[in-house]
Amino acid sequence: MSHNRVGYRQLIRQNSNFRNLWFGQIISFLGDWFNLIASASLIGQLSSSGLAIGGLFVVRMLAPFLVSPLAGVIADRYNRKRILFVADILRAVVVLGFLLVREPQHLWLLYTLTALQLAISGFFQPARNAILPDIVSPRELGTANALSSATWSVMLAFGAALGGLVAGMWGNQPAFIIDSITFMLSAIFISRIAYQVPEALQQADKTLRAALTQYIDGLRYLWSHADILFIALHKSANALFVSSGYQVIQVKIAEEIFVWGQGGNYSLGAMFAAAGIGTGLGPILIRRFTGDDEGKMRRALLLGYGLAAVGLAVSAPLVSFYWVLLGTILRGIGGGITWVFSTQLLLQLLPNEMRGRVFSSEFAIFTLMSAAAAGGVGGALDSPLGITGTLFAMAGLTLIPLLLWAVWLRLRLSRGVPAGSETVKQHYPDS
């Protein structure tokens, strides 16, 4: 399959639909990271509690989890381009409300607006994943997925660094205004996509009873396809043991240990930027060796967990800010590998009519585990464990999904199931 791959420049130049989706993604992600840096910094200024900071990340993850059952069904029943466009417009309006948060007694409003914004994002993400194979060819799919994931990482690095700079120099308010503008620009690019609604979506039953039936069918599909289910759980494992809790820790490190800029905004931006560099570099570099080969991508997931654990351990002693940044990059490389390759495996294995529901269920579990990690780590930071103890504990726990995935790969081999996608489809004909 790898010899038929389309290059990144070729994909952007030749596929105008993907190009518009990609441009919208670049701009939207820039605003997302401006918003996150500004929100985290604002909470740090209004409250010194680790639980208050963790609460922001809990809200950011629980909101999309609560809407995910409906979001997945909608992505499999309605025009996916229209879902993306409407979500961007609504988010552009909602984020302007952050300008009203100025006093400690306004924290409830910040949490409420965050929940509303991320709930809308809960509709955007499954539709965005589901539409990708609709606008690219099978030969372009691996390249498109890798480029989209790398873009998230690059914009994390650039957007977080720039967001930290803007917030550090001019305060948090300009970041929220910029975020609103980016959603509007993203909507403009999405509107330019020439999208043909797949026939399965056009013929889908739009009744409420059908929606409930479809959602249950999606859960049954996952339950009856163990391999698909385990692949869909990788992002959740990464969120639970690696990424989401670390985002909470980064805020405490920036505000209390290595304070750089107003309220540690520069430090926080630098750490998010380091994570973006790692998550962007990891998948791109490793994909040079794996291509779109399913077996190699499955084995690469083991490397992802291993590197993430090493990164957490390197950051834990808090020897210096440079060591923290190095650990953050390594953690990002590992997490990026896990995210990109698990997504690519699902894109290659899932039928079109199930993509929205499976990606929605995947996102639901991911957000739930992210919320659990953020809340747990927020509490751990206020306990005797502190930052160092929490990071070492996370590094040890990251070995759990590594070992479980290694066992699953061994079981598949022992049952005579090779790694190639053709073999998987032979064993699971409806996938």
Share of the chain above pLDDT 90, in %: 27
Q: Is residue 334 in a domain?
A: yes
How many domains, in total, are found in the chain? Answer: 1
Higher pLDDT, 210 or 402: 402
Tell me the per-residue pLDDT of 170-218, one tens digit each, with 9 for 90 and over.
777 888 888 899 899 999 999 999 887 776 665 665 565 666 777 777 7
Q: Is residue 198 in a domain?
A: no
Residue with tokens 């390197």: 314
The helix, strand and coil proportions of the chain, stated in percent and rounded to the nearest 5, come to 85, 0, 15
Could you count the other beta carbons within 10 Å of the beta carbon of residue 214? Answer: 20
The reported pLDDT for the residue numbered 310 is: 97
The reported pLDDT for the residue numbered 201 is: 60
Cα–Cα nearest to 234, from 369, 391, 131: 369
Amino acid at 233: L
Which residues lie below 8 Å from residue 159, measured CB to CB, with a gap of 6+?
29, 30, 31, 32, 33, 34, 276
8 A C-beta contact, residue 265 and residue 250: no
CATH code where residue 105 lies: 1.20.1250.20
pLDDT band at 419 (very low <50, low <70, confident <90, very high): low
Q: Is residue 57 in a domain?
A: yes
Tell me the per-residue pLDDT of 213-257, one tens digit each, with 9 for 90 and over.
777 777 788 888 889 999 999 999 999 999 888 988 988 898 888
Q: Is residue 313 in a domain?
A: yes
Share of the chain above pLDDT 70, in %: 88
8 A C-beta contact, residue 30 and residue 350: no
Residue with tokens 């900071």: 53
Q: Is residue 46 in a domain?
A: yes
Lowest mean per-residue pLDDT among 78-87, 92-101, 145-154, 254-263 = 145-154
Tell me the per-residue pLDDT of 96-112, one tens digit each, with 9 for 90 and over.
998 988 777 778 898 89
What is the domain range of residue 248?
A: 11-192+211-427
Q: Supply the angle between the helices 352-381 and 386-397 in degrees, to the nearest 10.
A: 150
The reported pLDDT for the residue numbered 200 is: 62
Q: Is residue 201 in a domain?
A: no
| Chain Cα centroid distance, residue 207 | 31
End-to-end distance of the chain based on CA atoms, in angstroms? Answer: 19
Average pLDDT over residues 336-347: 90
Q: What count of residues does the chain have?
A: 431
Q: Is residue 4 in a domain?
A: no
Average pLDDT over all residues of the chain: 82
8 A C-beta contact, residue 356 and residue 73: yes
8 A C-beta contact, residue 30 and residue 358: no
Q: Is residue 382 in a domain?
A: yes
Is the pTM here over 0.75, yes or no? no
DSSP string spanning 244-311? HHHHHHHHHIIIIIS--SGGGHHHHHHHHHHHHHHHHHHHHHHHHHHTT-HHHHHHHHHHHHHHHHHH
What is the dihedral sign for C-alpha 111, 267, 27, 78? negative
